[in-house]
Amino acid sequence: MSSASEDYLYRFLFEEFGVRGEFVRLDASWRAVQERHDYPSWVKPALGQTLTAVTLLSGTIKFKGSLTLQLKSESDIQALIAQATEQRTIRGMAQFVETPQAKPDDMAGLLGDARLILTTEAPNGERYQGIVAVEGGDVVKSVEQYFEQSEQLPTRLWMAGNDDTFAGLFLQRLPQSEIEDEDWSRVCMLADTIKDDELLTLDVETLLHRLFHEESLRLFDPEPVAFRCSCSRERVANTLVSLGEGEVTQILEELGSISVDCEFCNANYRFDAIDAAALFKEAESAPPQVQ
């Protein structure tokens, strides 16, 4: 039996008809996101949902590189950004006003007329992006709507969370599969009976048996999920080199040093004039790249 305190993504299939599913629980990875920033209590639920959603999507969409789920708004919660890789490493962040106008439990008011933007980016820089409106401040419904509009795949999600744990269940009709509407409706009705505390505490085998014990399921091996930020001093250095020595020198003359904070993990990278000189000297001596 699997531990309920581990960060894992599970995939499963209904063997008698074309429906796939996923279950994810985020413990240490969700807490790691919160430890990097002092998020107010009214921001955490939407950020947790966004992080859980991108983790579930990373197990559904075939991609290499990064998968980024963003919610952009001009309301109290201005941006929610969650990113996952094909290795199931995740990170997330939120941008928000200091004093919200909406009530703390009014997610529709906190998010306002937001847009959901899903972006996949390959290592070679190739990108694909899809956008849908976020209606009523509902992250879950917006992800379901994305699949309906962009992929034409009926999809359902269930989520629950608190400061320690976030969990999600995902069901989707397989593309080009033979399935009766009544089968899809039945498994969704069964999943609708799940309670928040069951999502947060039951191990995956017990949870799936509780919901679908009359169905034939194939549960695949768990895939570990972990918080990891892709920022590094080398990446920041490469960005500075791309700006050009003249512009970097001007910034240093005005500020004395260049300080860059990662918005995801809050790491700080500082470069002074000596660091900058070394960067451009190294860039000059580097062999030219073959096109």
Question: CA geometry: angle at 47 spanning 43 and 50, to 5°?
Answer: 150
Cβ neighbors of 81 (< 8 A, separation 6 or more) are: 50, 68, 69, 70, 71, 92, 93, 94, 264
Q: How confident is the model at residue 3 (pLDDT cuts 50, 70, 90)?
A: very low
CA distances from 178 to 18, 78, 175, 184, 267 (A): 6, 42, 9, 11, 49
The pLDDT, as a whole number, for residue 286 is: 58
pLDDT (tens digit, 9 = 90+) per residue, 16-74? 888 999 999 999 999 999 998 889 999 999 999 999 999 999 888 777 888 999 999 88
Residue 210 has pLDDT above 90, yes or no: yes
The pLDDT, as a whole number, for residue 226 is: 93
Q: How confident is the model at residue 287 (pLDDT cuts 50, 70, 90)?
A: low
Structural domains in the chain, sorted by start: 8-227 (3.55.30.10), 233-285 (3.90.1280.10)
pLDDT higher at 119 or 238: 119
Q: How confident is the model at residue 233 (pLDDT cuts 50, 70, 90)?
A: confident
The pLDDT, as a whole number, for residue 128 is: 86
Query: Burial of 207 by CB count in 10 Å (0-12 exposed, 13-18 middle, 19+ buried)?
Result: buried
The pLDDT, as a whole number, for residue 209 is: 95
Residue 195 has pLDDT above 90, yes or no: yes
Phi, psi of 128 (to 5 degrees): -130, 140
Q: What does pTM read for this prediction? A: 0.82
Residue 258 has pLDDT above 60, yes or no: yes
Q: How confident is the model over 181-209, as a mean pLDDT?
A: 94
Q: At 158, list the tokens.
A: 């269930």
pLDDT (tens digit, 9 = 90+) per residue, 47-61? 999 999 999 998 887
Q: At 59, list the tokens.
A: 């197990």
The pLDDT, as a whole number, for residue 132 is: 86
The mean pLDDT value of the chain amounts to: 87
pLDDT (tens digit, 9 = 90+) per residue, 121-179? 888 778 888 888 887 778 888 888 888 887 778 899 999 999 999 999 999 988 767 77
Residue 230 has pLDDT above 80, yes or no: no
The pLDDT, as a whole number, for residue 4 is: 44
Q: At 170, list the tokens.
A: 């995902």
Query: Burial of 256 by CB count in 10 Å (0-12 exposed, 13-18 middle, 19+ buried)?
Result: exposed
Q: How confident is the model at residue 288 (pLDDT cuts 50, 70, 90)?
A: low
